[in-house]
Structure 1
Amino acid sequence: MCQENSNCTDAENGNGYQCRCLEGFQGNPYLQNGCQDINECVISQPCVGICTNLPGTYNCSCPEGSQGDGRKDGKGCTPIIHEKRFRSIDVVLGVSISFLLVLLVVSWLYWGLRERKISRQREKFFLENGGRLMLQRLLSERKGSIESARIFTDEELKKATDHYNESRILGQGGQGIVYRGILLDNTVVAIKKAKVLDRSQVEEFINELIILSQINHRNVVKLIGCCFETEVPLLVYEFVNNGTLADHIHKCGYENTLSWKARLRIAGETAGALSYLHFDASAQILHRDIKSTNILLDENFTAKVADFGASRLVPLDWTQLTTLVQGTLGYLDPEYFHSSQLTEKSDVYSFGVVLAELLTGLRALSFERAENERNLSLYFTSAIKGERLFEIIDLRVLNEGNPEEIKEVAMLASRCLRVKGEDRPTMKEAAMELEGLMRVMDRHPWVNQSCDLEESEHLLGERSSECDGILKSNASGNADSISNQVPFEIESGR
């Protein structure tokens, strides 16, 4: 029965119902259209501003130029105070944005000019260091291919070495610093950053680079490529991951890693690599810095001859070169040191020192030893002359090696260490002798066990005739056996 704009509630006495107009409406709720809207704007005038009547309610607003809720019982309306057109914050903001834009433009111009300068500098170094044109010319003369030596950019090698980070340094010496690098294809390489190169030797350097890039020998560290975009050329070699021979002979924690058989095999592999460089390469290559730190070992303890920074190519019609003396004290050929006449016998002498290291476990030069023992080559030859060889041999070599084998290798080392180069064997002869000794060991591995001199003397009182026969046959199978050795001569003044 309650009409629109009304509500219905229970009667107050509990019987029936009661109708009331909604708030904002007035009239008779029982009649149709009985509840009419109240115009509050006219009746009560609740606004101080603009009043707008709405069904059942109203709305107050402030006129333009003022602010507030427009209600008498509220905040009312207050005039708006106009802000200055240009506030200080706007000025600061504008100046800052302008400064940043200018800085951005200047930076862009600076880096653009810098990159241009670096690019020109790289081109300059590339041309000064020989560059691709010289490579192409020299390779065409040898009917080679530019792919035989990969040309790296400066950026490639910077990324590979994390911008030559100190944590990537593998080693450093007289010829430069060697870094561990990782190329984009995840190939691990050794990157050698050489010292400043004499510009007059650039063509000679390129010539050596091409020869070395064409060497393909399992016991020579492979040269992968180079970079000409830096002040000095950078060389990129294969990475050999098991340290140097010097580490495994001398470094604490490595002493027991090399058995006698492994030492003999490493010596044979090194001799074979040097023989290849001297006699079988397209041009004879003299290493000039053979030492235990330049013989790397891979995970299988295979020897890899490295560091050709001091190497020299020998023309086919020359027997010796006169050069500035280079090398490492303790390994340096005394004849070469005094005469500056470089021959392949200088490498033979250095190899003899390495052989002595393998046998004795002593460093080539040590000021911690007594004065007469500081130079290993002198100490070693003196021990042989005084028949004290087995007093200086490494304990593991004594325990594992056959005395006759040890003597044969020792006598080969002594011949390599002769003062006069003409009295030394060639690397080919040394390699053949070591190879023959390895073949005998592989053919008769039981010789080392059943023919040990001390064991035979303790168990049988004398060496068995069977062992004597084997040792004699072993000795006769080599060109320079113990029975045919010429006593080592030590010249005065050495």
Structure 2
Amino acid sequence: MPMLWLLLLPLASLLRSATSGGNTSCAQATCGNLTIGYPFSLAGAQPLYCGYPVFDLTCDAGLGRAYLSRTFRDRLFHVVDISYAKNSMVTAIAGDGGCPVPDFNVSASLALFPFKISAANKRLVFFYDCHVPSELRLPRSCGNRTMGTYISGLWNGVDSLQPGVSRNCVSVSVPVRGAMEPPRQHYEQLISDGFLLDLPPPLGDCDGCRRVHGECRLLDRLSFQCFCPDGKLCPSFAQSNSTTHPDRGNFKLKIIGTGIATALLSLIVLSIVCMVHNVRRKRKRSASLDGLTIDGGSPLASPKKEFTLAGSLLTHIFTYEELDEATDRFSDTRVLGSGGFGTVYKGILRDRSVVAVKRLYKNSYKSVEQFENEVDILSRLRHPNLVAFYGCTSSQGSCCRDLLLAYEFVPNGTLADHLHCGGEAPLLAWPTRLSIAVEVAAALAYLHARQVVHRDVKTSNILLDEEFHVKLADFGLSRLFAPDATHVSTAPQGTPGYVDPAYHHRYQLTDKSDVYSFGVVLVELVSSRPAVDMARDGADVNLACMAVRMIQCCEIDRLVDLRLGYGSAASETVKTVDLVAEVAFRCLQPEQDVRPCISEVLDVLREAHQRMMEKADCAARDAELLKESRDDSPDSVMHQWISPATTYNHST
């Protein structure tokens, strides 16, 4: 099967559109003294396709440091050096100004995936909560703990326990490149010097691409392409590769001919297999056969889709035991919420990272489809307003009946919790609501630019962090479009109250379906009312219908949540609320072609938010100036001239 992948990958690359960002340059970027290029990409300076999706770095211009982006903790590892020739890099644990000793085993940290700790490193061991011999004791304590350290040998070697150190000690280990003696006096320097990481084998001949003045890019499904400066595929790249050794031309022609013949034969075999698989799949859907049951009596058949080449670079594979332990055996006390396909639990991994674990319901064919779909789509995406996907369990093995996915933990609940839970949550101020609207629109614009339709945009899928920044979640119903497709014909799916009526009637899913759902979210932000409420009368059960009617009748004041102070608030608040209601009205139009695209909606909301923030800043400055003028006024000394005969009423 791996050989088949290698044969089919070039053919698939030629058949797929090579446009992903137009002429956006993949020229090498810098961060401090570090030069960043393929297979790495620098967030904000280079598009994601300039390198592997999980090789993206973020730069702190002030410190001149580049950090691994996909980490459980912010700025956990910083990149010291990259050796493109040796396919390796040096990474160090970023200190936080407190105790320099890490509180986790580096080898167990998922933040380094898919990099591999080099066997050339040595193992620096820290231990505590036991007797610490004086010759191993650190000069200062960390976290009120007396700690010791020693070098135990090579990273992949057998650990050697130092004399006087008990096996009952709590310990953490850090890979280091050197062995400065004694380590207890040089441990901070050893950690800051970093350790060596081996990179996965590179995809494509990037050096050959650069020799013809091309740019290396990695498109969807890890297809390497060489682009010329004009933004088109470099024809000279393939020619130069084929004419490097003219004396071997005949031999290479034979290899190419054999490869093409093998590939065509493989395609024929694969087509037959797919046809048989589709027939069996339809039969499996119509009748609960071969392990698929409703009552849970028989095991669920393993998903057919496996994550081979894509999985090795994009998706971390957890063991079932890891996530089972992290969620305390899926304890009811760890439940964060439940949806149509499963339950979400709070999990704490062995390196103390906090994650959200979605456990899809057993024995549901739809769960298998959702699992595969969500892994496939989320592995491609990276955006600050999308929930980060950390990995999943394998779809094979004895524990395959439980399909588990791990995401970043977002602690502040959902937008629905804050809008519809009455007095249980503090009222969201209008500037915060407007900021949330902007960030949701930004996330959808990012998805639509990559031909992804979310299909289940709703307030309960919008997570909020401690600072009320948005993390859009739940991609189980999402669909990936072909670059030239205008719609996908499929049965309507989604949540009542949010489903696009045109999609419901015509069975045609487009990006405008997300725009309609987002319009409902905007109305919820303005009104604090749920999308569907059976306590409302007639057509007003559906919030979208009620909002369209009220806006048409110029009754926005009846729609707006009175607690936002719409009637008595500053004129800028009234203007922005009216503007958001107008945008929602346009998004909720029954015909898809009449609705604006999400990028247009985003521009309008950003402008409104920026104007409101500028007005707020001006008001704050005016208040400060007024306070200063009062402090400097002669009135401030009048108290010492008050007549002693003056009387005061102390009753208040």
Aligned to 2:405: 235
The alpha-carbon distance between structure 1 residues 391 and 429, as it changes in their structure 2 partners (threshold 3 A), is same
Give the stretch that moved more between structures: 196-205 or 267-276: 196-205
- Post-superposition offset of 1:439: 1.6
Aligned to 2:289: none
Among candidates 358, 379, 382, match of residue 216 of structure 1 = 382
Distance 1:360 1:449 in 2: 27
Aligned to 2:419: 249
The alpha-carbon distance between structure 1 residues 151 and 392, as it changes in their structure 2 partners (threshold 3 A), is same
- Post-superposition offset of 1:434: 0.6
- Post-superposition offset of 1:201: 9.6
8 Å Cα contact 1:208/1:313 also seen in 2: no
Aligned to 2:303: 129
Among candidates 580, 595, 599, match of residue 409 of structure 1 = 580
Distance 2:484 2:365 in 1: 26
Among candidates 546, 555, 560, match of residue 388 of structure 1 = 555
1:442-453 equivalence runs, <5 A: 442-445=613-616
8 Å Cα contact 1:149/1:225 also seen in 2: yes
8 Å Cα contact 1:441/1:447 also seen in 2: no
- Post-superposition offset of 1:303: 0.8
Find the residue that maps to 1:135 and give its secondary structure. coil
Distance 2:356 2:490 in 1: 28
Structure 1 counterpart of 2:471, one-letter code: K
Find the residue that maps to 1:177 and give its secondary structure. strand
8 Å Cα contact 1:181/1:188 also seen in 2: yes
Distance 1:130 1:169 in 2: 29
Among candidates 314, 327, 330, match of residue 148 of structure 1 = 314
1:339-378 equivalence runs, <5 A: 339-378=506-545
Report the aligned-residue RMSD.
Answer: 2.6
- Post-superposition offset of 1:199: 6.2
Distance 1:447 1:341 in 2: 47
Q: How many residues align?
A: 316
8 Å Cα contact 2:315/2:390 also seen in 1: yes
8 Å Cα contact 2:371/2:403 also seen in 1: no
Among candidates 487, 491, 510, match of residue 324 of structure 1 = 491
Find the residue that maps to 1:189 and give its secondary structure. strand
The alpha-carbon distance between structure 1 residues 405 and 439, as it changes in their structure 2 partners (threshold 3 A), is same
Find the residue that maps to 2:491 and give its secondary structure. coil
* TM-score (ref. length: structure 2): 0.46
Q: Percent identity?
A: 42
Among candidates 482, 495, 502, match of residue 315 of structure 1 = 482
1:98-177 equivalence runs, <5 A: 128-130=302-304, 134-137=306-309, 139=310, 146-177=312-343
- Post-superposition offset of 1:435: 0.8
Q: Confirm whether residue 269 of structure 1 aligns to residue 439 of structure 2.
A: yes
- Post-superposition offset of 1:193: 1.4
- Alignment gaps of 5+ in structure 1: 1-124, 140-144, 451-494
- Post-superposition offset of 1:200: 9.8
Among candidates 436, 439, 445, match of residue 610 of structure 2 = 439
8 Å Cα contact 1:402/1:448 also seen in 2: no
- Post-superposition offset of 1:353: 0.3
Distance 2:387 2:575 in 1: 33
Aligned to 2:160: none
- Post-superposition offset of 1:266: 0.1
The alpha-carbon distance between structure 1 residues 200 and 254, as it changes in their structure 2 partners (threshold 3 A), is closer
Output one character per residue of 1:241-282: Cα deviation in whole Å (capped at 9) or x when no partner: 001001111103345431100000000000000010001x3x
Q: Which runs of 4+ in 1 moved over 4 A?
A: 196-205, 446-450
1:270-289 equivalence runs, <5 A: 270-279=440-449, 281=450, 284-289=451-456
Distance 1:377 1:302 in 2: 25
Q: Which has the larger radius of gyration?
A: 1
Aligned to 1:420: 591
Distance 1:403 1:444 in 2: 13
Aligned to 1:98: none
The alpha-carbon distance between structure 1 residues 203 and 389, as it changes in their structure 2 partners (threshold 3 A), is closer
Structure 2 counterpart of 1:235, one-letter code: L
Output one character per residue of 1:102-124: Cα deviation in whole Å (capped at 9) or x when no partner: xxxxxxxxxxxxxxxxxxxxxxx
- Post-superposition offset of 1:449: 9.9
Find the residue that maps to 2:413 and give its secondary structure. coil
- Post-superposition offset of 1:165: 1.4
Distance 2:406 2:361 in 1: 15
